Structure 1
Amino acid sequence: MNWKQLLFPRAVHSAFKRARRAKTALAKPWLTGRLRLGRPAPLARYLGALRHGSQVVRKKQGIVYAVAGDRFVRFAAEPRAMAKLGREYDMWQALRGEGLAAILPHSMALHDVPGGKILESDRLRPIAKEDHAAVALPIVQALLSKARPVVPSGLPATIEAGLAFARQISGGALPQSFASESDIRDAFARPLMTGISHKDLHYRNVMRDDQGKPVLIDLKSCEPERVVAIDLLALACKNLQAQGKQTLVDAAFAAQQRNWRVSELEPILALVDLPRPLWGQIYLLNVIGLHATKRKSGEEVDPFSRALFLRILAKDWRSPIR
């Protein structure tokens, strides 16, 4: 998800998602038809060997996604797409090695085939948006069970980049209604639970297996030795955004105004070990930092982006409604 989807009005984002879903729905029969005709050949040969009726469910960023019986199969022929499949498999193995097999797909296998790579795993069941928090909780608890309290050597990279970018567009200092830089730095100058970060715990990346057990997917983004609280805040904001009609940043601001008192998210938010009055500001800096790290060195900030970020930074983040 790019920064424009994080910050643009919900109506714009929803229209974008509807168009993308419509495009996927229209493409599925065509892609499955190609598969029946033997294209892409490596995937067609592999699925034929499974002896199951198979169909393509989507193609995204160079990866063809197909289902065959109880198997979920991904095929890639382009170097970047093949690297993603390799990263997914490597992280599955690494997380199993950390003792987290209970929250992962039961099986996964990476195959080198002529012309590409195939990654095969269990076919899982999607969850409803309303079930996100309940299904994610045991996954979060399992990840935190492998974390440990560590005083960070500095700010997380996205927060540091977010601060620098915010200062740049705000004339050298953060707005008084936001938070002071010293408060942000002090928030990370203490022992914080540090461990595996997934970085994208939205409801489509949390599923159930055939026994109903919660399962974490899209593992390629996982990184070790990260402050876990940022993941938890992102999970909460994505949950609120999925339930309502607002951007992720607006969801964070609304939660901040309520002092983050959200009943269905309380079990997850209770695990956040950063200062509660700064949760919204920290999450926003993380979002801004994700944008800033993708910019080219020395690239000028366009007037529209500057105005958009300034409007968000200038909100009164310090005064929750009691």
Structure 2
Amino acid sequence: MEYILLTGGAGYIGSHTALELVNAGFNVISFDNFSNSSNEALNRVEQLSGKSIISIEGDIRDAAALRQVFTHHTISAVVHFAGLKAVGESTQLPLHYYDNNVAGTVTLCQVMREFQVKKLVFSSSATVYGDAKQVPIPESAPRSATNPYGQSKLMIEHILEDLVAAEPDWGITLLRYFNPVGAHASGRIGENPNGIPNNLMPFIAQVAVGKREQLSVFGNDYATHDGTGVRDYIHVVDLALGHVKALQYLTKNSGITAINLGTGIGYSVLDMVNAFSQTNKVAVPYQIVARRPGDIATCYAHPDKAAQLLGWQAEKTLEDMVRDSWHWQSSNPNGYS
């Protein structure tokens, strides 16, 4: 039996992708160190799908642990989610981010090569565009990064490009995510951050459910329609389906391809707060505070390449995003615990 290996498969995007993959007929193994995830997410994926998922605890920096997985299972491709992802934390702990994200990816690729597994879907990020000079942002835009998290993603992109230049039989897709939000419509799986959320939507949801007093909006003096930062928010289920399409694309294509996964629509922080309040009929108190270092004014995707190459486009609306976020948070006020 052939398997798709998901590194970080128990995380927010990993667990939603695991569900869409098994629904599409793939067999899935999750390899996760549970530093920012819960095995309960995978238990719930099994309940939702009626299919079993192999869950292995391990760290991508541990080559011996990875070799065990490849030795005991036939892996046809890897979807690589495992990575630390908090922009603010990365500025405090840069070595930790480079070790985990960059060194971990190199180890993963070395073990993949040993076992002649050369199909890889990599979780990249719109942060590789830095403070983009044009929006919507095409894949051809110049790359730079404004923080160590983004820098780690950009370094990995360069490493994978060098790998394919040296060994053209690899097939690698760099999926540059914009801002994933929402949860599965069942309310059974969703975003479950450790401690204080780094992302906007779980913070809004935790304020709405009473876990936090108010939302801090970082800056209201950007050159946007209401002064708050504008981002391309994409429903996590749409994002997960993009990974299914990327894997199907790699069955027929080699080389390396960068593809944006976004909606092509920008919403501001206050747009998100207001949509959440109105759709879900809950109050979200907020205060305006100083800008965060490294934040940019506007960032949204040019999404056409995904439609052309993968036959994929985002289907879910802003209302779907805020409704599903609230359904998850209100059904699971303490996450998976």
Normalised by the length of structure 2, the TM-score is 0.30
Normalised by the length of structure 1, the TM-score is 0.31
Q: Which has the higher helix share?
A: 1
Larger Rg: 1
